[in-house]
Amino acid sequence: MDGHSSHITADFIAFCMDNAIDILILPPHCSHARPLDVSVFSPLKKALAAETDKLTRLDPGRTPRVEWTRAYIHARDKAITQANIQILNKIRQLPQTPPPPPQEQVSYPLDLSLLASSPPDGTELREANALLHSELDKEQPLLSPAKRYTKRITRTLETAQSEVALLRKRLTDAESLLQARKQRKKGKRIALKGKFVFSTQEVLDIAKQAELEAAQKKPKKKVKEGAKATIIDNNKEEDIEIVFSDSDSDCIVVAATRSS
């Protein structure tokens, strides 16, 4: 059995004890090295994959359970043989991984610790270049081409160091600017009618839709029949004008003007 705790339960152990079955528990994540997985189940997986590929080429849709069971039976007959099952009898001794050979420590005449260290900054680089030129002049005077080449290398290193520092500063400023813009774009989410919106236009659209729904649900007032008639009094010299409004409140405005 694999050493995972989910594979070994109390019910399984009780079943093995009742049926006189010895349990061999191997360390987890070593299924690729177990003899049965290598000699028995690995050929079974390959044979089953070949059978399922045949079914897929015939019908690319879903494979029925009956056909898959038949394919598994054919694969099992091909892969699981008597020679494969008796692989444990052939194992005389478990192979052991040989220990790694001791590493020989090579002694270098020079101290190479500086090669594994981080690159120096601008001040350290200039000081190192000045020390290099002074030491070269003390030991043995260099020829003019070699001296010019050495000075050119040191100047190139100093120029590259300055450009790297400048680019690093620009990158830091750009990242801080992008972070500030990202923080400004972030806003609190608003829930209206079960929808989360961010923009002002979406908020206004949902608010207008809510107002229209409320206006449609509002009961309309009945207009009295007496108010629809136009009253004209001939005895009194006055004109009465009735104006019906088309506003949302369905009200009636009556305007009266008295003639002089």
Burial of 11 (0-12, 13-18, 19+ CB in 10 A): exposed
Q: What is the DSSP string of 118-169?
A: PPP-HHHHHHHHHHHHHHHHHH-PPPHHHHHHHHHHHHHHHHHHHHHHHHHH
pLDDT in tens, 101-160: 777 665 545 445 555 556 566 667 777 777 777 777 776 666 677 777 777 888 888 888
168, pLDDT greater than 50:
yes
Q: What is the pLDDT of residue 44?
A: 85
pLDDT band (50, 70, 90) for residue 231: very low
Taking a C-beta distance cutoff of 8 angstroms, is the pair 211, 193 a contact? Answer: no
How far is the first Cα of the chain from the last one, in angstroms, to the nearest whole number? 115
Q: What is the DSSP string of 54-75?
A: HHHHH--SPPPHHHHHHHHHHH
**Residue linked to tokens 């005449």:** 109
Q: Which residue has the higher pLDDT, 71 or 81?
A: 71
Model confidence, pTM: 0.27
> Please, which contacts does 27-32 make with residues 24 or more away whose CB atoms are closer than 8 Å?
27/3, 28/2, 28/3, 28/4, 30/3, 31/2
C-alpha dist (Å) from residue 242 to 222, 230, 236, 255:
17, 7, 17, 6
Taking a C-beta distance cutoff of 8 angstroms, is the pair 228, 244 a contact? Answer: no
C-alpha dist (Å) from residue 43 to 37, 63, 124:
9, 22, 64
Instruction: Report the distance separating Cα 188 and Cα 38, nearest Å.
Output: 58
Q: Which residue has the higher pLDDT, 71 or 183?
A: 71
Average predicted confidence (pLDDT) for the chain: 70
69, pLDDT greater than 70:
yes
Could you give the 3-state DSSP secondary structure of residue 195? strand
pLDDT in tens, 184-222: 655 555 555 565 555 667 667 888 888 888 888 766 555
